[in-house]
Chains A and B, each alone.
Chain A
Amino acid sequence: MNAKQTVQITAISAILLGIAIALHISGWHDARQLILIVSTLLAGTPIAIKAFKAIRMKSFSIELLVTIAVIGALFIGEYVESAAVTFLFLFGAMLEIRTMEKTRSSLKALTDLTPLEARVMRDGETLTIPVDNVKLGDRVIIRSGEKVPVDGQILSGSANLNEAAITGESVPASKTLEDQVFSGTIVDQGYIEVHAERVGDDTTFARIIELVEEAQETKSKTEKFLERFANIYTPSIVVLSILVYLFTRNIEMTLTFLVIACPGALVISAPVSIVAGIGNGARNGVLIKGGEVMEQLAKIDTVVFDKTGTLTRGRPEVTDIHVIGMEKEELLRLTAEAEMISEHHLGQTIVREAKKRTIHLANQPKDTEVIKGNGILATIDGKRLAIGNRKLMEAQAIPIHTEIESYAAKREKEGNTAIFVSISREIAGIISIADNIRPEAADAIAKLRKNGIKQLIMLTGDNRYTAKLVGEQLGLDAVYSELFPEDKVAAVQRLKEQGHRVAMAGDGINDAPAIATADIGLSMGEGGTDIAMETADIVLMADRLDQFSHAYALAKTTVRNMKQNTFFAVVTVMLLLLGVLLGKVFLASGMLVHEVSVLLVILNAIRLIRYTSDKPLKQNKREVITDESKVAL
C-alpha cells in the first residue's frame, strides 16, 4: 500500500466518522453502528496487514497491539472506540511521516543541489547532456546561474562561485584559471570552462551526501539502548496487560492498557534529534559522522589543535611591504621578478602576492645567484638586487640603518619573517611574511570555552618562538612545540590517561595518527581531500574553526534535545498507563494523547534544524512539555 492510498483511506474514514456523528445526533442508532463498523474495517485493514507482515518478520509492532485492541473492541461492541482508534492511528502515522520528513529537510536541501544537466564541448560542438553521461576529461561549460556538474580545474574564464553546497559558506568565492571548482556549487556570475576530473558519484559533493546519509544511519548509544529496550518492552507489556485482565476482569481497560503502552514516541525520540542535528551540521559545512560521534563530541572537555594549517592558514602570506623612497608595487614587482627563479617557499610567496595584485612580471632576472639559507642576488633592468635576511646584507656589506633595523625587529616580534630588499647596494624596503592566524580562530576559541571546553592546547612541529606567540595571541592554556607526529600521539594519549575527553583538530594528513588517537578527531576538509574526509570523525568543509565551535554547541544541544524527548516520552507513557489503571483514560482519548506526544517529540527535534550557535536555545522546554502532557490528560 502506498502513501496516496493511506491518505485516501484516512480521508474516507474521517468522512464516515462525520456521518456517524450526524446519524447519532438525528437518532439513527442502527445506521450509526453500521457506519462505525464499516469505518473500523476500512481503516483497520491496512493496520492489520502491516501487523501481519511484521509478525512474519518475527517482530512485534505497534500495529499488532492496535489490531488486537480493535478486534477486542469490535467483539465487545465498542464501535465508537474501534472506529476512533483506527482513524486516529492512521491519521497520526500520516502526520508522523510528514513531520519526520521535516527533520530530514536539511539533507534534502543539500541533495536538491545535485546538478542534473551539463553542457560539454565535444568535437567543437556544444551539447547539453544528463550529468551522468559526462566523461572524465570532458570540457564542461558553465554560465551565470548554472550549477557546476563536475569537479575539475578551470581551463578558461573566471567566475564568482557560491560554494555553500560544499563548504556551508554562502559568500561567493572568486575563481579563475587553474583554480579548482566543485560539483554542486553555483556560478553566481561569470563564465568558466572546466576540465572534468571527477564525475558522477566520485565528486566531492556526491561523497559528502553519501557520508551524511550513512552518518544518519549509524546509531548512537542511546538509540541502540532504546531499540533493545523496545524489544523487551513490547512483549512485557503484553504480559502486563494479561495481568491487568486477571486482576480487573475488565477487557476494555486491558485493551486500552495494551494500546496506550506502545512505545511509539520513545522509539523515535532519539533518532529524530540525531538526524536533525546531523542535517544542521551538514548544511553549515560540518560533517558529523553519526549519532555516536555526536554524543562523544558533546562530552569533550579538552581540545588539542595542530598549529600550521589549523590555527593558522597553513601557507605564508605577505603581511606588509615597507618601502624607502619608492612605490610599494614597484618594489614588489622587482622582488618578484628576481624571485621567479627561487624555489624557496618565501620567494614563491612573494611571486604569488605579485600575481594576486595582477602585477605584470615581464623582466627576466640576469646573473642570478642563490645563497642557500640567506637569499638571492639578481640583476633586473640593469639594477643589482640583493634579497634575503640580515646575514645576506652583511655579507654584501650593505648598511642597515637603525630605524630600518628597529622596524624589522618589531615585525619579527609580531611573528613575521622580515625580508630585506636592497637595490644597488641600498636598502629599498622590507617585505614581511607570516603564516597568519585564521581570522575566526580567536572567536571560535572563546566560544568553545564559553560552551564548556576546559582546556585548549596547541601541539606543533614548529619552533618554540612562533608557537609561543600564536599561543599567547589566542590565549591557549598550553603550547607544546618542536614535536614529531609520534610526540603528538603521545601527548593526546597522556591527556586521555589523565581522564580528559579529548578532541584533536588537525589538517588531516600529517596529523592523522593523533586524530585517530583522540576521542574525537576533526580534520579540515581542504575542499575535500580523501584522507581528511575518511579518517576523521568530524570534517570541517570550509576549513573554518567557527564551524568547530558551532559543531560543539550543536552536539550539546542535540544531546540535550534527545534527552528531553526520551524523558518526555517515558513520562507521557507512564502518566497514561496510570490514567488507564485509574479508569481516567480511555482507548480513543489515550490514543489521541499518544499521537500528540509523538508529534511533540518530532516537533522538538525540528527545532534543531534552525539551530544557530549564536543564539542559544531556551532550556525550559522540558518543564513546558511535562506541563502539556498533564493538560492533555
Chain B
Amino acid sequence: MKKAVFLMEPFSCPSCVKKIENALAGTNGVQQVKVLFHSDKVRVQFDDAVVTASELQELVEKLGYPVLSQKVV
C-alpha cells in the first residue's frame, strides 16, 4: 500500500474535482482518492503491486490537468 500526492496546477472549478476523483476511483488498485480543491493536490492510496504512481499521474494528465510534481510515500 502506497500513498501518492500530486501537486496540480491551480484548480479553477469544483467540477474538475469530481472528474479526477471518479476517474481515479475507477482505476484498478486504487483504494482511496481525495482531491484537495483549495490546496491543488490529489492524494491517492493505491496498491503498488497493481498500479504505479506514474500510471496514475498519466491518467490525471490525460484528463487535462497538468501535474506539477509527484510525491510517493
Tell me, yes or no, whether A binds B. yes
A residues sitting closer than 8 Å to B (CB atoms) are: 1-3, 50, 53-54, 57, 59, 61, 93, 96-97, 100-101, 104, 107, 200-201, 213-214, 216-217, 227, 267, 271, 275
Residues of B within 8 A of A54 (CB): 13, 15
In the complex, are the beta carbons of A213 and B36 less than 8 A apart? Answer: yes
In the complex, are the beta carbons of B15 and A97 less than 8 A apart? Answer: no
A238 to B42, CA, bound (A): 33
Q: A2-B66, A3-B9 given; name 15 further pairs at CB < 8 Å.
A: A54-B13, A61-B13, A61-B15, A93-B12, A101-B10, A104-B39, A107-B38, A200-B73, A214-B36, A216-B38, A216-B39, A217-B34, A217-B36, A267-B14, A275-B38
B19 beta carbon closer than 8 Å to chain A: yes
Instruction: Give the residue name and chain of the A residue nearest to B5 (CB).
Output: A201
Q: From the candidates A53, A97, A107, name the one contacting B12 in the complex (CB within 8 A).
A: A97
Residues from 1 to 49 in B contacting A, C-beta threshold 8 Å: 9-10, 12-15, 18-19, 22, 34, 36-39, 41
Smallest distance from the beta carbon of B15 to chain A beta carbons, Å?
A: 5
Smallest distance from the beta carbon of A630 to chain B beta carbons, Å?
A: 29
Residues of B within 8 A of A275 (CB): 38
Instruction: Give the residue name and chain of the B residue nearest to A212 (CB).
Output: B39
A213 to B15, CA, bound (A): 19
In the complex, are the beta carbons of A107 and B39 less than 8 A apart? Answer: yes
Contacts A1-B64, A97-B10, A217-B37 given: A57-B15 contact, CB under 8 Å? yes
Contacts A200-B73, A213-B39, A216-B39 given: A100-B15 contact, CB under 8 Å? no
A101 to B13, CA, bound (A): 13
Residues of A within 8 A of B73 (CB): 200-201
In the complex, are the beta carbons of A217 and B38 less than 8 A apart? Answer: yes
Residues of B within 8 A of A104 (CB): 38-39
Residues of B within 8 A of A2 (CB): 9, 66
A538 to B65, CA, bound (A): 34
- The number of A-B residue pairs with CB atoms under 8 Å apart is 46
Interface magnitude class on chain B: 10 to 19
Instruction: Give the residue name and chain of the A residue nearest to B37 (CB).
Output: A217
Contact digits for B46-73, partner A, Cβ 8 Å, 1 yes 0 no: 0000000000000000001010000001
Smallest distance from the beta carbon of B23 to chain A beta carbons, Å?
A: 10
In the complex, are the beta carbons of A57 and B19 less than 8 A apart? Answer: yes
Residues of B within 8 A of A100 (CB): 10
In the complex, are the beta carbons of A57 and B12 less than 8 A apart? Answer: no
Instruction: Give the residue name and chain of the B residue nearest to A215 (CB).
Output: B38
A97 to B9, CA, bound (A): 10
A271 to B13, CA, bound (A): 12
Smallest distance from the beta carbon of B4 to chain A beta carbons, Å?
A: 12
A93 to B73, CA, bound (A): 34
A271 to B73, CA, bound (A): 30
A227 to B10, CA, bound (A): 20
Residues of B within 8 A of A3 (CB): 9-10
A504 to B60, CA, bound (A): 43
A54 to B19, CA, bound (A): 9
In the complex, are the beta carbons of B39 and A59 less than 8 A apart? Answer: no
Residues of B within 8 A of A61 (CB): 13, 15
Q: From the candidates B12, B36, B64, name the one contacting A96 in the complex (CB within 8 A).
A: B12
Ordered by A's residue number, 6 sampled pairs between the chains whose C-beta atoms are within 8 Å are A50-B13, A54-B13, A57-B18, A59-B18, A96-B12, A217-B36
A321 to B41, CA, bound (A): 56
Instruction: Give the residue name and chain of the A residue nearest to B19 (CB).
Output: A57
A607 to B73, CA, bound (A): 37
Residues of A within 8 A of B19 (CB): 53, 57
Residues of B within 8 A of A217 (CB): 34, 36-38
Residues of A within 8 A of B41 (CB): 213
Residues of A within 8 A of B36 (CB): 213-214, 216-217
Instruction: Give the residue name and chain of the B residue nearest to A2 (CB).
Output: B66
Residues of A within 8 A of B15 (CB): 54, 57, 59, 61
Q: From the candidates B12, B38, B64, B66, name the one contacting A213 in the complex (CB within 8 A).
A: B38
Residues of A within 8 A of B39 (CB): 104, 107, 213, 216
Residues of B within 8 A of A213 (CB): 36, 38-39, 41
Q: Which of B13, B37, B41 has the most CB of A within 10 A?
A: B13
A197 to B15, CA, bound (A): 41
In the complex, are the beta carbons of B64 and A53 less than 8 A apart? Answer: yes
| Among all A-B residue pairs, the 6 with the closest Cβ atoms | A216-B38, A213-B39, A2-B66, A59-B15, A57-B19, A275-B38
A216 to B11, CA, bound (A): 14
Instruction: Give the residue name and chain of the A residue nearest to B23 (CB).
Output: A57
Instruction: Give the residue name and chain of the A residue nearest to B38 (CB).
Output: A216
Residues of B within 8 A of A214 (CB): 36
A53 to B16, CA, bound (A): 9
Smallest distance from the beta carbon of A103 to chain B beta carbons, Å?
A: 8
A213 to B37, CA, bound (A): 9
Instruction: Give the residue name and chain of the A residue nearest to B63 (CB).
Output: A53
A59 to B12, CA, bound (A): 15
Smallest distance from the beta carbon of A219 to chain B beta carbons, Å?
A: 10
Smallest distance from the beta carbon of A359 to chain B beta carbons, Å?
A: 47
Smallest distance from the beta carbon of B41 to chain A beta carbons, Å?
A: 7
Residues of A within 8 A of B13 (CB): 50, 54, 61
Smallest distance from the beta carbon of B1 to chain A beta carbons, Å?
A: 14
Instruction: Give the residue name and chain of the A residue nearest to B73 (CB).
Output: A201
Smallest distance from the beta carbon of A85 to chain B beta carbons, Å?
A: 18
Residues of A within 8 A of B10 (CB): 3, 97, 100-101
Residues of B within 8 A of A201 (CB): 73
A57 to B12, CA, bound (A): 16
A402 to B36, CA, bound (A): 70
Residues of B within 8 A of A107 (CB): 38-39
Instruction: Give the residue name and chain of the B residue nearest to A6 (CB).
Output: B12
